[in-house]
Amino acid sequence: MADHLNRFLVLTVLLGLFLRFCHGGVTSTFVRKVEKTIDMPLDADVFKVPSGYNAPQQVHITQGNMDGSAVIVSWVTQDEPGSNTVLYGTSEDNFEFHAKGKLTQYTYYNYTSGFIHHCTLRNLKFSTKYYYKVGIGNTTRHFWFTTPPEVGPDVPYTFGLIGDLGQSFDSNSTLSHYESNPIRGETVLFVGDLSYADNYPNHDNVRWDTWGRFVERSVAYQPWIWTTGNHEIDFAPEIGETQPFKPFRHRYTVPYKASGSTAPFWYSIKRASAHIIVLSSYSAYAKYTPQYKWLEAEFPKVNRSETPWLIVLMHSPWYNSYNYHYMEGETMRVMYEPWFVQNKVDIVFAGHVHAYERSHRISNVAYNIVNGECTPVDDRSAPVYVNIGDGGNLEGLAANMTYPQPKYSAYREASFGHAVFSIKNRTHAYYEWHRNQDGDAVVADAMWFYNRYWSSADDSITIFS
């Protein structure tokens, strides 16, 4: 088995070198049927309100502390506050534990939210399936989740990757494709832009409710790790709404305090063998700002002997060869890219551009405006940048690319899809991207990753084209 893997790795290296130096990257030749992206109607089956009086809806979970031994359970009750209690246990027949949560509610222009509950389940056992129920006293609904393995350097773990999802028919295709993937993730890393409610008149917050019901089929059973995008800002002074991120902040709680952050838009967690840093492209990040000071203090805390894989999530990409949102992330790149290289970040996932792209390992830290050194260069200490803002929202695909394809761009394609990042051990991880038009097990782009801390090998390789 080891010999087969070694031969496969050698072949992929040779293929990658050929593609990289002879062609400078791959622009996919895949041709999809051109169709307008349309939001699903309010009476779509995926938006259906659960039956029963005051039934909990929009149930979702996320990690609740630094190491994954806690889970935050959130849900909405529409008719009345109802119970804040979550009952849970390791058997469907015995909910031996309980936890009491907190309640919040908000108004946005002419909309008033339902009663939003957040409850943290603590001191959970690792690698354990828990059953939980919410809606105690009225209509009770049952769900389950599995906790991650205890943090450790050689713990295998698989993450799903979704971004810019929205609630169109294409969005439904993306989520369905992810759910039917034979190796779908155990946790979703979501790179921002959730509901796209702000695309409706007066930022119609009913579309936050429909989105919450739409994704419940996944996020009630496995954690989604949240990143904020521009469609979460919801800053609308023309209708009297001057508090940025108001709907998101009320609806989606994250464990930001566990990593010493002062706001829920930038934070970190450990999960299995990964240290995950979440950044906010739409919060202040210049020198001396809270986000800057937090990130400066965060990198020294990363222990690559404990969590060898260092992953960063953000919304606005730093490297992008489409004619959409081009260079919008440049000022953040100038601020933080040297830290990414110094600390050997393995991979950066971003969204915002509604298409797919993967880079080689490159950096541009030498550029200082006057020296003219403005071309990204190969850098084995730099991360691979993956733009996966291809979830399927109503704004449609970003199909207009720059030509010629930049040398830093390894693979790009204007299709909707999702990705999976499978950590095997401290040295190897396998990444693959799936377009919606293919069968469940078909891989459109893939790459073997060699961990930057534990290996200096060149892994900027395209396996499929």
Report how far Cα 375 is from the mean position of its chain's Cα atoms: 28
Helix axes 330-342, 290-298, angle to 10 degrees: 20
- The identity of residue 123, as a single letter, is N
Which residues have C-beta within 8 Å of that of residue 465, sequence separation ≥ 6? 19, 26, 28, 411, 445
- The identity of residue 222, as a single letter, is Q
- Under DSSP, is residue 12 helix (H, G, I), strand (E, B) or coil? helix
d(CA 434, CA 416): 9
Classify the C-alpha dihedral 16-22-24-29 as positive or negative: negative
**Distances in whole angstroms, Cα of residue 117 to Cα of each of 107, 131, 376:** 16, 18, 46
Rounded CA Rg of the chain: 22
Q: In terms of DSSP bridges, do strands 224-225 and 187-190 run parallel, antiparallel, or are they unpaired?
A: parallel
- The identity of residue 428, as a single letter, is H
Q: In terms of DSSP bridges, do strands 347-350 and 384-388 run parallel, antiparallel, or are they unpaired?
A: parallel
* Residues with active-site annotation: 325
d(CA 312, CA 348): 5
Contact by Cβ (8 Å): 243, 201? no
Residue-wise DSSP of 183-234: T--SEEEE-S----GGGSGGG-THHHHHHHHHHHHHHTTS-EE----GGG--
Which residues have C-beta within 8 Å of that of residue 339, sequence separation ≥ 6? 295, 296, 299
Residue-wise DSSP of 36-57: ---BPPTT-GGGPPPSSTT--E
Q: Which residues of 254-290 are buried (b: 16+ CB within 10 A; e: fewer)?
A: bbbebbebebbbbbbbbbbbbbbbbbbbbbebeeeee
d(CA 356, CA 376): 20
- The identity of residue 188, as a single letter, is V
Residue 281 token pair: 């492209």
